[in-house]
Amino acid sequence: MPEIFGKYFSRTELLRRVGRLEQVAGVRLATLGDGTERGVRVLEFRTGSGFVFEVLVDRAFDIGRCSQSGQALDWQSGTGFAGPWYGEPEDLGFLRTWGGGLLTTAGLDHSFFPARDKATQYHYPPKPTEQYGLHGRVSNRPARLTGYGERWEGGECILWANGEVLQATALGERLLLKRHIEARVGQSCLSIHDEVHNISFSRTPHMLLYHINFGFPLVDDDAEILLPARPEEAAGLGGLLRVDPPTAAHGGMAFDYDPLCEDSGIAPVGIINRRLQLGVYEHFRPEQLPHGLLWRMLAEGNYVVALEPSTNRSAGRMDARERDELIELEPGEVRSYDLELGILQGSEALDRFAERVNHLTGMVRS
């Protein structure tokens, strides 16, 4: 039974009060109409709790803008959410169209910095190697929208959307990302279930990174970063788990950690801002995404903290190959990934989440 405006409603009692569910919550398809964003389809989710987010259909079904009660949670770059038709995938060209948003998917066969690697998946003698650009190609691929809407399960109303993102080339890889996104009416969280399918007939490398980006006003002076890291890793980060004001000429810093998980198999990660009495959390499964990355880019005009679960370490592709950690999907093989992102509101919720993370790390942060 959803809670809306401080009261619980059955399906019948809610629908007695509105002409259609869209009056208080729903999923709406729209198309952006200007500049480099022109033509980009978005699905706007409103859960009725003040939680609003947009799915960028034409950018890998990623999450763009996200807010709680009018307060922005995501970070956005100066490029806007440019259409994939403006993409520059080689080298660092990713940065030309990376609008940020709450979630950017990196993959499906490469993530992290550019690299050149063997191209045995091609079986094409004129192409012995492949050049991979920053964070791969998938975020610049439009999705096929296969469905969206709402469904009732007993007294609960669930908003949902499905999309398929194909990364393919003639004579080479054919990887298909099937993404399912859900949010419950009356709640302030969303869940993502991803499946990566190798639909080719050749073994194909696979890397995946969830670049989850938080910005102002959540990210501001003295906001706290909560990582389920081993005590020695967390101690090594020291003051870097508190957010500093923007500074000039900040080049950004990235830190790897080995995520610890609860008995349920979930690793809880988050950022809390006690001045706003607001926070965000991530839940992911280290059995699926064994590596965690903290990225702090606290520059003037580029002020962002990203908490990024990943299949691989930030050292990237060639390091993964040397460690024998580079995933090779067999023909027909499928890998599944699950992620939950949500809101923490009020001092009690912030304290409870901090205690969860501190229990895992064995540390108590002041």
CATH code for the domain of 266 = 2.70.98.10
Q: Which residue has the higher pLDDT, 106 or 5?
A: 106
The answer to whether residue 225 scores a pLDDT higher than 90 is yes
DSSP conformational letter for 159: E
Percent of the chain with pLDDT over 70: 99
The residue among 213, 238, 219, 222 whose CA lies nearest residue 279 is: 219
| Cβ neighbours of 295 (radius 10 Å) | 17
What type of residue is 358?
Answer: N
The answer to whether position 22 is within a domain reads yes
Cα 210 to Cα 310: distance, rounded to the nearest angstrom: 6
What are the tens digits of pLDDT across the range 147-194? 999 999 988 999 999 999 999 999 999 999 999 999 999 999 999 999
The answer to whether position 92 is within a domain reads yes
In which element (H, E) is residue 299 found?
Answer: strand 291-299
Total of domains in the chain: 1
Q: Token pair for residue 75?
A: 């970070």
**pLDDT the model gives residue 364:** 42
Rounded average pLDDT over 204-233: 95
| Cβ neighbours of 8 (radius 10 Å) | 12
The answer to whether position 189 is within a domain reads yes
The answer to whether position 136 is within a domain reads yes
The answer to whether position 55 is within a domain reads yes
10 Å CB burial of residue 327 (0-12, 13-18, 19+) is: middle
**pLDDT the model gives residue 363:** 54
What are residue 198's DSSP bridge partners? 175
The answer to whether position 330 is within a domain reads yes
The answer to whether position 366 is within a domain reads no
In which element (H, E) is residue 12 found?
Answer: helix 11-15
Cα 155 to Cα 344: distance, rounded to the nearest angstrom: 24
The answer to whether residue 361 scores a pLDDT higher than 90 is no
Task: Residue 264: give the domain boundaries.
Answer: 3-361
Percent of the chain with pLDDT over 90: 84
CA distances to 3, 21, 56, 229 from 15, in Å: 14, 7, 29, 46
Q: Token pair for residue 290?
A: 């064994």
| Cβ neighbours of 42 (radius 10 Å) | 21
**pLDDT the model gives residue 85:** 87
The answer to whether position 82 is within a domain reads yes
Q: CB of 40 within 8 A of CB of 87?
A: no
